[in-house]
Structure 1
Amino acid sequence: MNLYNIKHPEQQVNFAQAVRQGLGKDQGLFFPATIPQLSNIDELLALPLVERSQKILRALIGDEIPADKLNAMVKNAFTFPAPVVKVAENIYALELFHGPTLAFKDFGGRFMAQALATVRGDGKITILTATSGDTGAAVAHAFYGLENIDVVILYPKGKISPLQEKLFCTLGGNIRTVAINADFDACQTLVKQAFDDEELRQAIGLNSANSINISRLLAQVCYYFEAAAQLTAEQRQNLVVSVPSGNFGNLTAGLIAKTLGLPIKRFIASTNANDTVPRYLQTGEWQPNATVATLSNAMDVSRPNNWPRVEELFKRNGWNLSELGSGALNDAQTETALKAQYAQGYLCEPHGAIAYQVLKDQLQEGETGLFLCTAHPAKFKESVERILGIELPLPDALDKHNKLPLLSDEMDNDFATLRAYLLK
């Protein structure tokens, strides 16, 4: 598999190099030089999740990883289902929260851990990543206990849910977590500064495990095929997919699936009040505002890292950005949407509620709508219980960690302090 740096196309790497490096020169994102068109979509959709995903990832990655190793990577990573559930007439939910940390990031996090273990070579590796909520848990659990791999996760102090925090800040061992006194965008900037420091990169074997790493992105492509496989052929012909969007890796994966040949009519990028992309699509002006805290904290991102990949795909495929739907909800509208879902018999959480409502508002006659449910409602226990007036039992995975003490360090938004911490 050949990939190039979007900022510096002359920098070309293979899959193993892209996985090990994470980011390219000048913080550029790696992207596949070619994405094949699959001709046997119906045959693929008839296969089980793991077998289908093995074939999809083989088509994307090529022969760089031996078939038996790649097959084992997928089998070890995808050990849980992604069911499609009917919510309303012509509207379905793709539930991506049935993995060990109850969030969609389990797909990408676990596959990346398998990929890195396969291509790592010799020497120590330090995973440095920023999380707005769910990435932290997925990465921490995927890499926990792996030999010679240290993980450092930055998150905005007080701006993720208490249960999200408990899920990844209670592990210890090779997992270090740092609460930064700033917002998520500041955490992301610290990660980028670390990657720009060549001396630091070499000293600790720096890598990143959020959606900028190509292995995570490719893994996420697979569950779009899984969603389509659970719909009828007729429903697939007019399928509209609404993606709750923060860093825009999830939408990028969906667009790669469409590029491969999956019949998705159009996508909708659904955001909260951090609506840089919806405003950009309306006005053509890229004007990020200061990030604001919302009920849907995993989407509290004003400068989405993966947006260049979205634009690259549209440009390469000859698509027009006007074909990409978008919409944004504030917290009051999010609460109303969550209540509407619950009244129809479906229990959701703020991120999925936004994706549902924007989809419902924009779905046209004859279309089938699918929205992504990216996290278990219990991960947002306090807000969901308050909004719906119910009591939510904690799943075992959450309850176990909820009883453990937090092991996080706290740090101001200062790169010199972070650098010293990473070199400890």
Structure 2
Amino acid sequence: MKLYNLKDHNEQVSFAQAVTQGLGKNQGLFFPHDLPEFSLTEIDEMLKLDFVTRSAKILSAFIGDEIPQEILEERVRAAFAFPAPVANVESDVGCLELFHGPTLAFKDFGGRFMAQMLTHIAGDKPVTILTATSGDTGAAVAHAFYGLPNVKVVILYPRGKISPLQEKLFCTLGGNIETVAIDGDFDACQALVKQAFDDEELKVALGLNSANSINISRLLAQICYYFEAVAQLPQEARNQLVVSVPSGNFGDLTAGLLAKSLGLPVKRFIAATNVNDTVPRFLHDGQWSPKATQATLSNAMDVSQPNNWPRVEELFRRKIWQLKELGYAAVDDETTQQTMRELKNWATPRSRTLP
């Protein structure tokens, strides 16, 4: 697999290099040089496979022979050790449940796959994972890497701006997990991570890496559960599928769009944010104008400068798609609370509605 730096297309790296580096020069994101695509027949056959086998096939299409198929499937099986069921909300509305992992977050998929890839690639070489979190990422990354040899994890998070449960999930582990509360918002934490990655001496000395969705291994892993969602739908429901994606740093939406580029039958995606609506406003008027981040009930989405947006734009450019095809919506706390009240009657005993 070859990837290039979105800020310097001359910098090209392998999958292993992209996983271990995290970011390219000038904090550039890595993006696949080749975008694989499956035929409709291949998609239909893949949707008949079990989650792990299908996911290994999807990931192999990107990674190629850098990781042998049998090893890749073994690592995927270790990472995706929990289901991703689709629950019916209404006759024509479903909800993909991504809370069945150890930290109840969709990021368990990407975090655990990255841990599997990094330990396979790095071997005995010491690695320091430096990551910023607005809530979900910290817990998912901490649990994915907890206790792994030769790996140290440092997590920056905004003091007082994540839920008590999220804080306990990653601040109480100890061992190779260190946490730092920052007096600021998530964007301030993310800026510190970027500053560290700008220091070449520091990067080399610490073997610095990031487990945010900027890391290509996390992003690729998230493609897989979009296929799992479609696989659970009846054939007649697949033709007019619209997927709304709660978005903060936009890694999840990027993964969904990559799934579509592979050939997954999705008619349209909706970029759904809270009041930190940089992307919806941009899609509406064409002006990229981030505002100060506002704290909301959906704190994991409190991001005003989403890192993954350049990947979205690059994918649309490469596929000759139009950004106007991307739906958008911004939801305030009042609407969030009202929707939670409405969903309370729908929720099953094993589920819990969170903002």
**TM-score of the pair, normalised by structure 1:** 0.82
SS in 1 for 2:65: coil
The aligned counterpart of 1:377 is 352
Q: CA offset at residue 67 of structure 1? A: 1.5
Structure 2 residue aligned with 1:287: 289
What is the distance in 2 between the residues matched to 1:63 and 1:203? 30
Q: Name the aligned partner's letter for residue 43 of structure 2.
A: I
Give 1:418's aligned residue. Answer: none
Partner residue in 2 for 1:329: 331
Corresponding residue for 1:34? 34
Number of residue pairs matched?
352
Matched, 1:211 2:186: no
Instruction: Spell out, residue by residue over 1:143-164, the C-alpha distance to the aligned partner (whole angstroms, 9 max, x if none).
Output: 0011111000000000000001
Is 1:190 matched up with 2:165? no
Single out whichever of 65-74 and 272-281 deviates more from structure 2. Answer: 65-74
Q: What letter matches 1:377 in structure 2?
A: R
Tell whether the 8 Å contact from 1:211 to 1:249 is kept in structure 2 after alignment: yes
Shift of 1:347: 6.3
Q: In structure 1, what is the Cα distance between the partners aligned to 2:281 and 2:344?
A: 29
2:181 match: secondary structure: strand
**Does the CA-based 8 Å contact 1:341-1:347 persist in structure 2?**
no
1:63-83 CA-to-partner distances (Å, cap 9, x unmatched) read 111122111110110100000
Give the aligned partner of residue 162 of structure 2: 160
Q: Deviations over 1:235-280 (max 9, x none)?
A: 1110000000000000000000000000000000000010000000
CA distance in 1, matches of 2:269, 2:348: 23
Pick the aligned partner of 1:91 from 87, 90, 93: 93
Amino acid across the alignment from 2:21: Q
1:21 and 2:21 matched: yes
2: CA distance, partners of 1:17 / 1:290: 34
- C-alpha distance in structure 2 between counterparts of 1:286 and 1:251, whole Å: 18
The C-alpha deviation readout for 1:281-308, integer Å capped at 9, x for no partner, is 0010000000000000000000000000
Mapped pair 1:130 → 2:98? no
Deviation at 1:121, TM superposition (A): 4.4
Q: What corresponds to 1:5 in structure 2?
A: 5
What are structure 1's unaligned runs of at least 5 residues? 349-375, 385-424
**Amino acid in the other structure paired with 1:106:** D
CA deviations over 1:200-245 (Å, ceiling 9, x no partner)? 1011000000100000000000000000000011111100000000
What aligned pairs does 1:149-298 form with structure 2 within 5 A after superposition? 149-298=151-300
Note the alpha carbon deviations across 1:390-417, whole angstroms, 9 max, x for none. xxxxxxxxxxxxxxxxxxxxxxxxxxxx
Shift of 1:377: 3.4
What's the CA shift for 1:89?
2.7
Aligned-pair identity in percent equals: 69
Q: Distance in 1 between matches of 2:32 and 2:348?
A: 38
Give the Cα separation in 2 of the matches to 1:338 and 1:145: 36
Tell me the equivalent position of 2:114. Answer: 112
CA deviations 1:21-67 (Å, max 9, x no partner) are 00000000001001111120000000110111111111111011112
Aligned partners of 2:287 and 2:56: how far apart in 1? 40
The whole-number CA distance in structure 2 between the counterparts of 1:60 and 1:312 is 17
Q: Describe how 1:295-334 pairs up with structure 2 within 5 A.
A: 295-334=297-336
Q: What is the distance in 2 between the residues matched to 1:204 and 1:54?
A: 31
Partner of 1:346: 347
Which aligned pairs between 1:61-72 and structure 2 lie closer than 5 A? 61-72=63-74
